[in-house]
């Protein structure tokens, strides 16, 4: 082992982290300095990776869950030969740089996921380890074309956050033995010592989850490598390697202090640290030993990649069918072989049920589609009936059982999507989307094609009462940039919504689906499915012809209601058009001409949506009649709630007549 080279590289990490943070006048030097040796041996000794082939599907994944320590990752990517220059490092935290404050997926080659919100990275890594196992089950023979580890570096903050507990609990249950988490136990967070708020025995907790737990010293290089060997030998459990460390190790006067967590050390202390480390004061100086250490690794990495390519070619020859399936799996999604279900006009069905029909109809032809629910599959209709459960002893299963862990679920599906080779979906009641909102936000930020099946999308859940009845959730979900929220109005629109969700490649989609039955209505627009790309279409044209006097704009279950309202209006209804708007965001982005043609300025507009009105004025105008719900729901049969909240055809027709007169 090249102990000197490793030490030299660790010094380089410390220097780059200190200097970049000092130059930016902001950032977190403590963690990179405290974990410098670990980082170097991760990138130099432990990870199976090839900086020139950063997309290699069988690379080990490394997740820096403690994303504030981004300078650790950036300096290692730079030193080990990823396309991240010293200039990039000097631009740390600057606008448009490849070295933003926290690692951002898609911005920096070699960054496997966006981290910063603590705990998310651990859940992502669990998802990656699940993906590795699923793909291994689908493709491996005696030749293992998918066979890699997922490593994580997590800090005290990650361990405190609930999402890591949820995800780690599931990882233990599933026996994800190729998941190895390093816990940087420096016992320091922002406010001071962990003694202030965190005194549990983390290792014991992980043992209870079913993990192998190991412990060592963050500066004992040989010791760490031995622990990693032990972790890799374990075949039934994930491993937690707790490493005792010192924040800002190397700084003579500040090591161990919480003041190094998230602020520059200051010019003086930087100079003192460099002196202690025996390096020149010159900023961003990289000792030659660090460069030659990583240079010496390049040929070995390339050889590893060539060996895998040879294995892959041999495997392809022996398994032409598997190879074909592989090529399809990693090509852009082709839905031409998927047989979507059809429904009849007049048929009544809850959109959650239609969604289940879609999933099951296409599952065989879209093998990358995997997912499940947070214990609500029978209600969410998300079970793939012909495919088994994914379990420790059943890696070929496609049904995930996430348990009652919405936040963990959200982070895990992000990791599954990030890994590649899978198109994951997950499900819960829409009201509980709040429990996973931070992960949804990250999926949107990372542009991941994850699909959320949110059923029971309104107060018409009924008897379960206001705790289970979303009212502000549609607005809250629509507020997340790059999340597409689709609220189909009947079974046919549900099919179209699924198509749109599946075809989306640059972000997540949330499907808002009903518990209650809806009637499949006759579509006034023969190109309605195509027009869903514009977010809305004419569900039913005014009988009178010409420009409508009244436009009823509705989403989801309220389109059925709008059609009833028009009938209840009698002769006034003849001049009314009904517009179905499955996606408000897409409508707002549609050409103005199209928007105007659907909702002419001259008409009185009535909006029907069983949720708060927030955001609708921009779509239907301030003068529109808002048939919305600005309060919590009630516990009662759905029909009673509808009456109580004025969501009956008669009540709405009455309001409209009032406006018309």
Ligand X SMILES: Cc1ncc(C[n+]2csc(CCOP(=O)(O)OP(=O)(O)O)c2C)c(N)n1
Q: Catalogue the active-site residues.
A: 406
Pick between residue 156 and residue 585 the one whose CB is nearest to ligand X: 156
Stretch that binds ligand X, among 184-192, 386-394, 420-428, 551-559 (CB under 6 A): 184-192
Number of H helices, E strands in the chain: 26, 20
* Environment class of 416 (CB within 10 Å of its CB; exposed 0-12, middle 13-18, buried 19+): buried
Concatenated DSSP letters for 303-342? Answer: HHHHHHHHHHHHHHHH-HHHHHHHHHHHSSP--TT-----
For ligand X, which residue has the nearest CB?
155
> Is residue 247 within the footprint of ligand X (CB under 6 A)?
yes
User: Segment contacting ligand X (CB under 6 A): 115-123, 300-308, 518-526, 627-635?
Assistant: 115-123
Measured from the CB atom, the residue of 384 and 440 that comes closer to ligand X is 440
* Cα gap 269→81, rounded to integer Å: 29
CB 212, CB 239: distance < 8 Å: yes
Under the criterion CB under 6 A, does residue 156 sit at the interface with ligand X?
yes
The rounded radius of gyration (Å) of the Cα atoms in the chain is 28
Interface residue with ligand X among 23, 68, 329, 473 (CB under 6 A) is 68
Q: Is 118 in the site for ligand X (CB under 6 A)?
A: yes
Chain residues 582-641 in contact with ligand X, contact rule CB under 6 A:
none
CA dist., res. 171 & res. 427, Å (int): 19
> For ligand X, which stretch binds (CB under 6 A), given 188-196, 540-548, 570-578, 626-634?
188-196
> Which tokens in the block code for residue 125?
């890594």
Q: Which one of residues 7, 99, 189, 380 is an interface residue with ligand X (CB under 6 A)?
A: 189
- Smallest separation (angstroms) from ligand X to the CB of 105: 16
CB of 37 to ligand X, least distance (A): 15
Q: Which is nearer to ligand X, 146 or 445 (CB)?
A: 445
Which of 5, 110, 155, 410 touches ligand X by CB under 6 A?
155
Helical H segments across 25-119, by residue range: 30-34, 36-41, 70-80, 86-90
Closest approach of Cβ 185 to ligand X, in Å? 8
555 binds ligand X (CB under 6 A): no
End-to-end Cα distance, the chain: 88
Nearer CB in complex with ligand X: 188/605: 188
Binding segment (CB under 6 A) for ligand X, from list 186-194, 269-277, 411-419, 444-452: 186-194
Q: Tell me, what DSSP letter sits at residue 247?
A: T
Question: According to the binding rule CB under 6 A, does residue 117 interact with ligand X?
Answer: yes
The minimum distance between CB 194 and ligand X, in angstroms, equals 7
Q: Does 66 bind ligand X (CB under 6 A)?
A: yes
Q: Using an 8 Å Cβ cutoff, are 63 and 151 in contact?
A: yes
Beta carbon of residue 242, minimum distance to ligand X (angstroms, whole number): 13
| Residue 153 β-bridge partners | 64, 182
# residues near ligand X by CB under 6 A: 21
Per DSSP, the residues of 186-219 read --EETTEEGGGT--S-HHHHHHHHT-EEEEEETT
Residue 70 as a binder of ligand X (CB under 6 A): the answer is no
- Nearest CB to ligand X, comparing residues 266 and 341: 266
Q: Using the structure block, give the residue that is written with the tokens 């900023």.
A: 283
Residue 607, helix vs strand vs coil: strand
Task: Tell me the closest approach of the beta carbon of residue 158 to ligand X, in angstroms.
Answer: 6
Least distance to ligand X, CB of residue 113, Å:
14
Nearest approach in angstroms of CB 413 to ligand X is: 18
Cα separation, 578 vs 582, in Å, equals: 13
Q: Which of 29, 30, 175, 210 binds ligand X (CB under 6 A)?
A: 30
190 sits near ligand X (criterion: CB under 6 A) = yes
Helix%, strand%, coil% for the chain, nearest 5:
45, 15, 40
- Residue 259 or 643: the one with the smaller Cβ distance to ligand X is 259
Q: Which is nearer to ligand X, 117 or 415 (CB)?
A: 117
Among 13, 17, 24, 31, indicate the residue that binds ligand X (CB under 6 A).
31
Instruction: Report the alpha-carbon distance of residue 75 to residue 99 in Å, rounded.
Output: 10
Q: Give 337-371 as a DSSP string.
A: T-------TT-EEEHHHHHHHHHHHHGGG-TTEEE
Distances 507 to 111, 168, 418, 647 between C-alpha atoms, Å: 18, 26, 12, 33
DSSP state of 394: B
Name the one range near ligand X by CB under 6 A: 19-27, 182-190, 323-331, 462-470.
182-190
Q: Is 164 in the site for ligand X (CB under 6 A)?
A: no
Closer residue to ligand X, CB minimum distance, 104 or 158: 158
Cβ nearer to ligand X, comparing 82 with 183: 183
Q: Give least dist CB 262 to ligand X, A.
A: 7
- Per CB under 6 A, contacts with ligand X among 257-286 are 261
Cα(520)–Cα(510) distance, integer angstroms: 21
One of 110, 116, 175, 408 touching ligand X (CB under 6 A): 116
CB-based contacts of 540: which residues, under 8 Å, 6+ apart?
521, 522, 524, 563, 566, 577, 578
Nearer to ligand X, 159 or 358 (CB): 159
CB 123 within 8 A of CB 415: yes
Contact set with ligand X (CB under 6 A): 28, 30-31, 66, 68-69, 116-118, 155-158, 161, 184, 186, 188-190, 247, 261
């Amino acid at each position: 082992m090249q102990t000197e080279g490793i030490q030299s590289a660790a010094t380089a990490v410390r220097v780059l982290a200190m200097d970049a943070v000092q130059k930016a006048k902001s950032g977190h030097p403590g963690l990179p300095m405290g974990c410098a040796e670990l980082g170097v041996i991760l990138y130099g000794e432990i990870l199976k990776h090839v900086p020139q082939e950063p997309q290699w599907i069988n690379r080990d994944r490394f997740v820096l869950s403690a994303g504030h320590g981004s300078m650790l990752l950036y300096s290692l990517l730079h030193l080990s030969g990823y396309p991240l220059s010293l200039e990039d490092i000097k631009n740390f935290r600057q606008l448009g740089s490849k070295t933003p404050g926290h690692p951002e997926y898609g911005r920096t080659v070699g960054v496997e996921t966006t981290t910063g919100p603590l705990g998310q990275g651990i859940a992502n890594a669990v998802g990656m380890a699940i993906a590795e196992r699923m793909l291994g089950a689908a493709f491996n023979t005696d030749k293992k074309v998918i066979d890699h580890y997922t490593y994580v570096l997590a800090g005290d903050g990650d361990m405190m956050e609930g999402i890591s507990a949820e995800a780690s609990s599931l990882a233990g249950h599933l026996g994800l033995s190729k998941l190895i988490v390093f816990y940087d136990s420096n016992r320091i967070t922002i406010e001071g010592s962990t003694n202030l708020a965190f005194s549990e025995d983390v290792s014991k907790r992980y043992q209870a989850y079913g993990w192998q737990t190991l412990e060592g010293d963050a500066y004992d290089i040989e010791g760490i490598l031995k622990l990693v060997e032990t972790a890799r030998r374990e075949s039934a459990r994930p491993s937690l390697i707790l490493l005792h460390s010192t924040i800002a190790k190397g700084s003579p006067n500040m090591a161990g202090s919480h003041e190094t967590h998230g602020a520059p050390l200051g010019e003086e202390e930087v100079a003192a640290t460099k002196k202690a480390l025996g390096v020149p004061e010159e900023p961003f100086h990289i000792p030659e030993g660090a460069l030659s250490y990583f240079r010496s690794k390049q040929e070995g990495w390339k050889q590893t990649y060539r060996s895998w390519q040879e294995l892959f070619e041999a495997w392809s020859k022996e398994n032409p069918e598997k190879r074909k399936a592989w090529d399809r799996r990693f090509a852009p999604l082709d839905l031409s072989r998927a047989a979507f279900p059809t429904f009849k006009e007049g048929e009544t069905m809850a959109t959650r049920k239609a969604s289940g029909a879609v999933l099951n109809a296409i599952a065989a032809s879209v093998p990358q589609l995997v997912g499940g629910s947070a214990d609500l599959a029978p209600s969410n209709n998300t079970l793939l009936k012909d495919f088994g459960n994914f379990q420790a002893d059943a890696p070929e299963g496609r049904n995930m059982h996430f348990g009652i862990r919405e936040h963990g679920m959200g982070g895990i599906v992000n990791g599954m999507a990030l890994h590649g080779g899978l198109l994951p979906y997950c499900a819960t009641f829409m009201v509980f989307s709040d429990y996973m909102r931070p992960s949804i936000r990250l999926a949107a930020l990372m542009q991941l094609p994850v699909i959320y099946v949110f059923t029971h999308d309104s107060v018409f859940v009924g008897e379960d009462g206001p705790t289970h009845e979303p009212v502000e959730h549609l607005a809250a979900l629509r507020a997340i940039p790059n999340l597409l929220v689709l609220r189909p109005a009947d079974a046919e629109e549900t099919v179209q919504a699924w198509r749109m969700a599946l075809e989306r490649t640059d972000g997540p989609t949330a499907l808002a689906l009903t518990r209650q039955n809806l009637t499949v209505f006759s579509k006034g627009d023969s190109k309605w499915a195509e027009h869903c790309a514009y977010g809305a279409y004419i569900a039913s044209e005014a009988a009178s012809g010409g420009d409508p006097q009244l436009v009823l704009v509705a989403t989801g279950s309220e389109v059925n209601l709008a059609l009833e309202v028009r009938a209840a209006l009698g002769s006034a209804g003849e001049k009314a058009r009904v517009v179905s708007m499955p996606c408000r965001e897409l409508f707002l982005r549609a050409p103005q001409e199209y928007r105007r043609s659907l909702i002419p300025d001259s008409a009185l507009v009535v909006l029907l949506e069983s949720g708060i009105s927030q955001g609708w004025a921009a779509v239907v105008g301030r003068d529109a009649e808002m048939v919305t719900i600005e309060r919590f729901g009630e516990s009662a049969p759905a029909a009673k709630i509808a009456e109580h909240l004025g969501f009956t055809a008669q009540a709405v027709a009455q309001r409209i007549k009032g406006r018309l007169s």
